[in-house]
Chain A
Amino acid sequence: MNKIKYSIFGRSKLSGDFIFEALVGLFALGVIVLAFLLFRELFIESQLSRNTFGLGFLTTSTWNPVNEVFGALPFIFGTIVSSFLALLIAVPFSLGIAIFLSELAPEKLRTPLSFIIELLAAVPSVIIGLWGIFILAPFIRDYLAPPLSTYLGFLPLFQGPMYGLSMLTGGVILAIMIIPITSSISREVIMTVPTHQREAALALGATGWETTRIAVLPYARSGIFGAVILGFGRAIGETMAVTMVIGNSPRISASLFSPSYTMASVIANEFTEATSKLYISSLIEIGFLLLVISFIINIAARILVWKLLKVEGGGVT
């Protein structure tokens, strides 16, 4: 891109341009500095925990504040499994919504419908959590879990008792919370697919669905992938609603019916009652890990999207 040349380096006297450039430059720099300081602070504050437990912090599952023995594995497990479960549920729904809104819905309904779906993202997470406790958890316990254990009970995933608050409930809540963002971004991406691509398929005798399958979705795939990753990032960091329904029990179980705990939840629940320095430091280390995981996921997603774009030479971000 060609930058118009009126930069500060070519000017000798203080002009409006200079002040403006310096000011917005400072804002941009501020964000980077803030992110760096955040990392630094979490790193320093978690030093005690890192020195005490080393890498064992990541691989052990004891969480005992009384004896001051801390291992983060159950929380890492809970965060990753609940987020993947959320994706598993949310991606088909989001794609369906996006395809419906961009390709199939009557012209007049498209804007109001997408507005309503995006509004779902504005519901405060504590409200979704309350709904989860009073409506979703009992519903899953009474109507979803029994058939799952009857017909799929041979899988370790659906064994054991189900009391409502569980990994499954947490995954479903997270799915509901990420559907607005993944579906609205997927919809925008699908809408940027050029008309000539759709017409190429139609002129070959493709039906509406075939056009979506051979022309629209492949063209939009890198952008859709980006939408999915953004949803995943949101699921990983989501705290309130999932804390309210996942059961908050630090254990690793193959069954989705058993309660679990996430990294974000344990920080929210225990930070105020953490009394000893080691306890606080361990929670901060979990926060540090959460930050690192989020960064890695976002960076990896970007690199993947860029690579796909290069290969295709004509996709969309």
Chain B
Amino acid sequence: MQNKITVENLNAWFGAKQVLHNIDIGIAKNMITAIIGPSGCGKSTFIRCLNRMHEVVPKAKASGKVLVDDTDIYDSDIDPVDIRRRIGMVFQKPNPFPTMSIRDNVVAGLKLSGIKNKKTLDTISEESLKKAALWDEVKNDLNKSGVSLSGGQQQRLCIARALAVEPEIILFDEPCSALDPISTSKIEDLMLELKEKYTIVIVTHNMQQAARVSDYTAFFLYGKLIEFGETDQIFKKPKEKSTEDYIVGRFG
């Protein structure tokens, strides 16, 4: 088993408040790793440290090592902008750009990289929308606004937008919490398809979702990694008492 991401001794703060304590974890390549835990346990902060999005919040900082294929993304000569192009992110609330068309939303990241050729952009936009299982629903409306779509479609549009820049890793930060069950199951199916090519990390407060889609599960509590292992093991035979308590619904 090969690790795509290796996290060593990661700590994170908001101002003086420490929200992550000494996290060590390895994220397997071409697998889905779920991060679960109650609200405020640091799971979103953790995933945002993996593409250096944590530090865009005022007064937030992080220390430690996050190795992606042996490159420490917190190394001083690494530009966070390059990191974010390699590691895509899908957020809790679907956030397409409201003034852009569906097509322009998908290729927004490519345009930033300086790709201007219309044919290239059209091709990649179609491919990305197909990968995100949205193409059939929008192929006749590519020039409509991104916010004319339903919530679930908007989220798949955001996935297409992340895929278009060909990242190696995709981070999902509670991607279904604003969606209905049908849209949720579409996105879950999509994640299972995408893991063939990408390494996926998903934060979720929905334990059934973690059990359905993930290969590995990490349980966080009070900013600490309590338990990490294969999803089957975590859900059927948790080693830690608090993991079991959380999974059976005694708190959280």
On A, residues with C-beta under 8 Å from B are 107, 194, 196-207, 210, 214-215, 218-219, 221, 311-315
Given A200-B96, A200-B158, A219-B97; 16 other pairs, CB 8 A cutoff: A196-B91, A197-B97, A199-B89, A200-B97, A203-B84, A204-B84, A204-B85, A204-B109, A204-B161, A205-B82, A205-B85, A210-B112, A214-B108, A312-B98, A314-B98, A315-B98
Quick one: which of A205, A218, A311, A313 contacts B109, CB cutoff 8 A?
A205
Q: With a CB–CB cut-off of 8 A, which chain B residues contact A311?
A: 145
Pull 20 A–B residue pairs with CB atoms less than 8 Å apart, ordered by A.
A199-B56, A199-B91, A200-B91, A202-B53, A202-B84, A203-B84, A203-B89, A204-B85, A204-B88, A204-B109, A204-B162, A204-B165, A205-B81, A205-B85, A206-B112, A210-B112, A215-B97, A218-B97, A312-B145, A313-B98
Q: B84, A205: Cβ atoms under 8 Å?
A: yes
Cβ of A305 to closest chain B Cβ, rounded Å: 14
Q: Which residues of A contact B145 (CB under 8 A)?
A: 311-313
A196 nearest in chain B by CB position:
B95
Residues of A within 8 Å of B97, CB to CB, are: 197, 200-201, 214-215, 218-219
Residue from the list B82, B88, B96 in contact with A203, Cβ < 8 A: B88
Interface membership of B226, Cβ < 8 A:
no
Output the nearest chain A residue to B58 by Cβ-Cβ distance: A107
Distance between Cα atoms of A201 and B98 in the complex (Å) = 12
| Chain A interface, >50% SS class | helix
On whether A207 and B158 interact (CB within 8 A), knowing A312-B99, A312-B145, the answer reads no
Residues of chain B contacted by A204 (CB below 8 angstroms): 84-85, 88, 108-109, 112, 161-162, 165
The docked-state distance in angstroms from the alpha carbon of A315 to that of B82 is 30
A288 to B75, CA, bound (A): 68
Output the least CB separation between A296 and chain B (Å).
27
Contacts of B88 in A (CB 8 A): 203-204
Interface string of B232-251 (1 = CB under 8 A from A): 00000000000000000000
Encode B19-39 as 1/0 by CB contact (under 8 A) with A.
000000000000000000000
Looking at the assembled complex, report how far the CB atom of B138 sits from the nearest CB atom of chain A, in whole angstroms: 17
A221 engages B99 (CB within 8 Å)? yes
Which of B51, B58, B81, B99 contacts A218 (CB under 8 A)?
B99
Contact B81 A207 (CB under 8 A): yes
Tell me which residues across on chain A come within 8 A of B58, comparing CB atoms.
107
What CA separation (Å) do A221 and B100 show in the bound complex? 13
B61 within 8 A of A: no
Please indicate which of the listed interface residues B85, B98, B99, B108 has the most CB atoms of chain A within 10 Å of its own CB.
B99
Known: A196-B95, A200-B97. A206 touches B81 (CB 8 A): yes
User: Which one of B53, B109, B161 contacts A199 once the chains associate, using CB atoms below 8 Å?
Assistant: B53
Q: Which residue of B lies closest to A313 (CB)?
A: B147
Interface residues of B in 82-119 (CB under 8 A from A): 82, 84-85, 88-89, 91, 93, 95-100, 108-109, 111-113
Q: How far is the CB of A88 from chain B (nearest CB, A)?
A: 24
| Residue pair A219, B56 in contact (C-beta under 8 Å) | no
- Point out the residues of chain B lying under 8 angstroms from A107, CB to CB: 58
CB-CB nearest in chain B for A206: B112
Q: Which residues of the other chain, A, contact B82 by a CB distance below 8 angstroms?
A: 205
Which chain B residues border A315 with CB–CB below 8 Å? 98
Within the complex, the shortest CB–CB distance from B110 to chain A, in Å, comes to 9
Q: Which residues of A contact B63 (CB under 8 A)?
A: none
Closest chain B residue to A308 by CB distance?
Answer: B99
Picked from B53, B98, B158, the residue with its CB within 8 Å of the CB of A219 is B98
- A219 adjacent to B99 (CB under 8 Å): yes
Q: How far is the CB of A28 from chain B (nearest CB, A)?
A: 34
Distance of A24 Cα from B2 Cα, bound (Å): 72
Asked whether A202 lies within 8 Å of B98 as measured between CB atoms, the reply is no
Q: Quick one: which of A194, A203, A219 contacts B51, CB cutoff 8 A?
A: A203
Q: A196-B91, A210-B112 are in contact. Are A203 and B53 (CB under 8 A)?
A: yes
Which residue on chain A has the smallest CB distance to residue B88?
A203
Chain B nearest Cβ from A295, distance in angstroms: 29
Tell me the chain B residues, 148-181 only, with Cβ under 8 Å from chain A.
148, 158, 161-162, 165
